[in-house]
Amino acid sequence: MLGFVLRRIALTIPVLLGLTVLVFAIARLLPGDPVALAAGPNATPAEIEAYAREFGLDRPIPVQYWTYLTGLLSGDMGVSIFTRRPVAEDIAAYLPATLELVLAAMLLAVGLGLPAGLAAAVWRDRWPDTVSRVLALGAISMPRFFLGLLLQLGLAMALGWLPLGGRFPITEDPPPLVTGLLTLDALLAGDLRALGLALQHLLLPAVALSLSPLATIMRMMRASTLEVLSRDYVLTERALGLPEWQIIGKYVARNAVSATLTVIGLYFGWLLGGTVLVETVFDWPGLGLYATKSVVTQDFMPVIGVTLVIGTLFVAINLVVDILYGVVDPRVRVT
Amino acid sequence: MSAALEAGASPRRVAWRRAVYRFGQSRLSLVGLALSGLVLAMALFGGLLAPYPEHVAGGIATGARFAPPSLAHPFGTNELGQDVLSLVLAGARVSVLAGLAVVLLGALVGTALGAIAGYAGGWTDEILMRLADLKLTVPGLILAMAVAAALGPGLLNMVVAIALSWWPGFARLVRGEVLARREEPYIVAARAVGVGRVRILLRHLLPNVLTPVIVKVSLDVGFAILAVASLGFIGIGVKPPTPEWGSLLAIARSYMPDFWWMAIFPGLAIFVAVLGFNLLGDGLRDLLDPRTRR
């Protein structure tokens, strides 16, 4: 098992190197003047030249890549031309909010998607199945940012039940900083009031983000449950007279879940992409909001930094899923 | 089926009629066909149908700002007094045609590279496929955002940025199909009689792998429209006054909830377009992909 884990970790190193090459290529090799971009839209030619010399942008490309790579290893992601702050510091400040949102959305998607898919398969072609099919069709075609706006319009603006955006009321003291995830920090501090406030703010963005992975997970769970239901051992169990709830709950659900879980890593990528849109709608102070604000002000280094961090997260999550898959299914460990 | 019994009908023709019949049996596919046809018509002729063409060109009517939906303005007017219906109709052009362009560009590049990788094998294959794997390290929307930021704003740049994360899917699909077919007797026979590699690839392999490519194109168009609108929403893409659904929605955000019609109608347009193409794509897949036939 240890060998399998180590092998999988070793395999991600070339992937991460590839990611830095990709990001570097976007930053330096695409048409458009990277130096002018990095120096900002209002820089004079002399300023641009000085900037190029200062950051080594006048040197050969392989040298530049090496400098970039060694800089990354020491945590240097460049400087925002807008705020003059180091990008790495900003990203460290925004990352927990994004993680909290993505994890909450994943919990919703898995926690509701799996039982809903199971129900759709068990009551195949009856009303739970039809309802789930129609919802899934709508959910996959629904732009997340539009769904977010609708939720805001209905639940926050018209009914006033939930806050419009942000992470925490500015008039209140947030729980002491431990993990950066406000809900977790509130729990750790035993502050139920803060937990409630944080959850209120988290609910709408998490729902908006989770809907399309929820629909997909539900459909996959339905398909794998139907497949398991047609196996011979289910027939045997029925022939032996086991109660239906026991067959479904004990044997079918477990086998169907492990088949569905293996693809969940892919949906994390989906969530990491979608979080940009949802954070913009809900003013959620995470990486996505940081990136979109930077894009609009043509502040280039933060965009590149966020791309790199989200890419790394994506790779890391897939690694974890791969390893978990090996834990669940021993056959995978061999290859 | 009666079509099969008709005298003189070629087998291909019979298969085609059977497929059309099956497509017609699926209500959702027909809804998809109708919706995507409507959206496509909007993309092609929307600008002409717009009741207030001067607003599409950027004209404003300060006297009629923020008018709620009425007979004169079924979708209301915006902060400049422009007719929202006209903007939505004209916005279809950018949103839908850019979505189509993304998928076609991705399909063209992906099919070419995938076919080369699959047929050539060896180092060519290795390099091309590792390049395609890079897509697995960054979510498509993030990659498109970074590329669009590097290239600068503009419609063409946006299409290129999204297509850059779109081709690997096609490349992998086509490579797999080519690999599965390159040792089939008709290819081996062609090689044996001395047909050149390029000719084998173009005349004998590509036509046989085209069906899954067409299915994927139809399945992807909806998502490409969604991607275009998403980039428009975060402020990359066309610049005003050119109307585009995503950016219309972004502007409307500042005027909620009082002027909700500014957000609802462009949002619905995106939803309907994506839903229509998704339903159509599903229908075509069921039709053309033998594996999903019941």
pLDDT of residue B293: 47
Q: How close, in Å, is residue B203 to chain A by CA atoms?
A: 35
- Return the biggest CA–CA distance within chain B: 77
Q: In chain B, what residues touch A146 (CB-CB under 8 Å)?
A: 249, 263, 267, 270-271
Phi-psi region of B282 (alpha: psi -120 to 50; beta: other; left: phi over 0): alpha
Q: In chain B, what residues touch A157 (CB-CB under 8 Å)?
A: 256-257
Query: Among A325, A74, A317, A329, which Cα is nearest to A213's?
Result: A317
Q: Do B142 and A273 touch (CB under 8 A)?
A: yes
Q: Do A145 and B274 touch (CB under 8 A)?
A: no
- Using CA coordinates, name the residue in chain A closest to B231: A277
Buried b or exposed e, range B134-151, using 16+ CB within 10 angstroms? bbbbbbbbbbbbbbbbbb
The answer to whether residue B4 scores a pLDDT higher than 60 is no
pLDDT of residue B84: 78
Q: In chain B, what residues touch A303 (CB-CB under 8 Å)?
A: 145-146, 149
> pLDDT tier at B274 (50, 70, 90 boundaries)?
very high
- Using CA coordinates, name the residue in chain B closest to A293: B234
Count of CB contacts below 8 A, A vs B? 139
pLDDT of residue B8: 60
- B45-79, pLDDT tens digit by residue? 877 777 777 777 777 777 777 777 877 777 777 77
Provide DSSP, A115-138: HHHHHHHHTTTSHHHHHHHHHHHH
Q: Please name the residues in contact with B92: beta carbons below 8 A apart, sequence gap of 6 or more.
A: B39, B42, B43, B46, B245, B269, B273
pLDDT of residue A102: 92
Q: Do B138 and A311 touch (CB under 8 A)?
A: yes
pLDDT of residue A29: 64
Q: How close, in Å, is residue B204 to chain A by CA atoms?
A: 35
pLDDT of residue B294: 42
Q: How close, in Å, is residue A173 to chain B by CA atoms?
A: 28
Q: Do B136 and A272 touch (CB under 8 A)?
A: no
Q: How close, in Å, is residue B129 to chain A by CA atoms?
A: 12
- B126-142, pLDDT tens digit by residue? 888 888 887 778 888 88
- B7-47, pLDDT tens digit by residue? 566 777 777 787 778 777 777 888 888 998 998 988 888 77
Q: Do A273 and B140 touch (CB under 8 A)?
A: yes
Q: In chain A, what residues touch B137 (CB-CB under 8 Å)?
A: 15-16, 18-19, 22, 311, 314-315
The shortest CB-CB distance from B149 to any of A21, A31, A300 is to A300
| Structure tokens belonging to residue A313 | 């997260």
Query: Among B173, B252, B253, which Cα is nearest to B215's?
Result: B173
Q: Which residues of B touch A (CB under 8 A)?
A: 28, 130, 133-134, 136-143, 145-152, 222, 226, 229-230, 233-236, 246, 249, 252-253, 256-257, 260, 263, 267, 270-271, 274-275, 278-279
The answer to whether residue B244 scores a pLDDT higher than 70 is yes
ipTM, interface predicted TM-score of the complex: 0.82
Which sign does the torsion angle of CA A296, A302, A308, A314 carry?
negative
The set of long-range contacts for B239-245, using a CB threshold of 8 Å and a minimum separation of 24, is B239/B153, B239/B154, B240/B58, B241/B57, B241/B58, B242/B94, B242/B155, B243/B56, B243/B87, B243/B88, B243/B90, B243/B91, B243/B94, B244/B91, B244/B94, B244/B95, B245/B88, B245/B91, B245/B92, B245/B94, B245/B95, B245/B269, B245/B270
- B144-159, pLDDT tens digit by residue? 888 888 887 788 888 9
Average pLDDT of the segment spanning B237-265 = 82
Q: Please name the residues in contact with A95: beta carbons below 8 A apart, sequence gap of 6 or more.
A: A180, A286, A287, A309
Query: Among B58, B56, B241, B227, which Cα is nearest to B158's?
Result: B227
0.90 exceeded by pTM:
no
Q: How close, in Å, is residue A175 to chain B by CA atoms?
A: 31
- Using CA coordinates, name the residue in chain B closest to A309: B138
Q: Which SS3 state, helix, strand or coil, does residue B77 take?
A: strand
Number of C-beta neighbours around residue B210 at 10 A: 13
- A136-184, pLDDT tens digit by residue? 888 888 998 999 889 888 887 777 788 877 787 777 777 777 777 888 8
Q: How close, in Å, is residue B251 to chain A by CA atoms?
A: 12
pLDDT of residue A39: 67
Residues of chain A with pLDDT under 50: none
Q: Do A291 and B145 touch (CB under 8 A)?
A: yes
pLDDT of residue B3: 46
pLDDT of residue A30: 64
Buried b or exposed e, range A50-84, using 16+ CB within 10 angstroms? ebbeebebeeeeeebbeebeeebeeeebbbbbeee
pLDDT of residue A332: 67
Task: Mutation target for B interface from A219, A295, A317, A322: give the one with most B CBs within 10 A.
Answer: A295
